[in-house]
Amino acid sequence: MPHEQIYTNAKIVTADDVFTGTVVVRDGLISEISEGKSQLSAAQDLNGDYLMPGFIELHTDNLEKYMNPRPGVDWPSDSAVLAHDAQIIGSGITTVFDALSIGDVNPKGNRMMQLPRMVEAIGKANQGGHTRADHRLHLRCEVSHEKTLEMFEKLVDHELVKLVSLMDHTPGQRQFVKYEKYREYYQGKYHLSDAEMENFIVRQRINAEKYSVEYRRKIAGICQEKNLSMASHDDATHEHVTESAGFGMQIAEFPTTHEAATLSHQLGMKVLMGAPNIVRGGSHSGNIAAADLAGHGVLDILSSDYYPASLLQAVKKLSELENGYDLPKAVATISLLPARAANLSDRGEIRLGLRADLVHVAQAGSQFVVRQVWREGERVF
């Protein structure tokens, strides 16, 4: 007999509607969707709360918090992955692309040394069935770092690598056009003296001249050969965007100007912005506000970036803005659209035949709260 679950008296959020009804799950797949309340004794009554598709996170570096919970503390990788996974699933995220940086801009950092251990720990936990979310890898390639291409070539064939983004955090362009913002961000983040900061800026500019153009072209070419989804990062100008589109990138991560976001959208790239930007009401780097892009209809995907719980709160805020994003459209920014951008055709919405990745969401005062989470029909939170 097939394994069956019934969830009823729920506000079901589909790709284009919200209605009170019932969802039946059989063997991990959505098998029935109907309006009205089930009278079957086996049905779980969700008391009028929302039933949403499992959230899909394309870009989060949340794992790094657990690898280095305090300065100088290097936490065991296996434990860090499971702690990270618990926070991810508790935020309603059923599919997560763990964003691992290749090329550390931090002069005092140890990301490059930690990277192989992080990859190994994620793979082992996923393969052993110890994670509750479905973990994939997103390789964030800092094209201005001398070791990036070498390390990328070592990791790109890992079975969990499904997304690659090309970044360039050189001062004076993209995210940090203004040098004062660059100094403020990195000097505060890495606790550098004034002299250390000046040397840091000089070194980053020299490395960019040596490596950025060549590494961007070579890494993009490898991704095209392997049919990997690609994302641009911090595009700011017409030239940035047309180059990214020419490389076949499907996603435009965190464009920093209206011009770049609008052109990316027009050229078919899905514009991804940070959910914290929505929740906080603006960018921590002083760039464009995600809500402004939503108002112009060019915001496609939200990412929690550094704060997993921000996805659900951003959806609520987005659905309340006067910009045409009703709740189904807002939810699609964290489910259907990231699924399509990452070539995941088996999930991302509540639809017959898709994976039963589901999130039970209640309203608690002014907030949305995750009550239950199912992955392929199995309750994981």
Q: What 3-state DSSP class applies to 32?
A: strand
Query: In the chain, what percentage of residues exceed pLDDT 90?
Result: 73
Residue recorded with tokens 């994670």: 131
Q: What 3-state DSSP class applies to 269?
A: coil
Helices and strands, number each (H, E), in the chain? 13, 16
Taking the C-alpha atoms of residue 7 and residue 183, their distance in angstroms, rounded to an integer, is: 52
> Residue type at 287?
N
The string of pLDDT tens digits covering residues 121-136 is: 999 999 999 999 999 9
Taking the C-alpha atoms of residue 99 and residue 77, their distance in angstroms, rounded to an integer, is: 15
Q: Report pLDDT for 184.
A: 62
The string of pLDDT tens digits covering residues 176-225 is: 656 566 666 666 566 677 777 777 777 777 777 788 889 999 999 999 99
Which pTM value belongs to this model? 0.90
Q: Report pLDDT for 179.
A: 56
Within 13 A of 179's CA, how many CA atoms are on the CB side? 7
The string of pLDDT tens digits covering residues 327-355 is: 999 999 999 999 999 999 999 999 999 99
Q: Report pLDDT for 173.
A: 57
Nearest alpha carbon to residue 77 among 109, 113, 102, 108: 113
Taking the C-alpha atoms of residue 59 and residue 70, their distance in angstroms, rounded to an integer, is: 22
Q: Max Cα separation, the chain?
A: 72
Going by pLDDT thresholds of 50, 70 and 90, the confidence category of residue 286 is: low
Nearest alpha carbon to residue 380 among 69, 72, 82, 50: 82
Q: What 3-state DSSP class applies to 333?
A: coil
Examine the pLDDT at 114 and tell me if it is beyond 90.
no
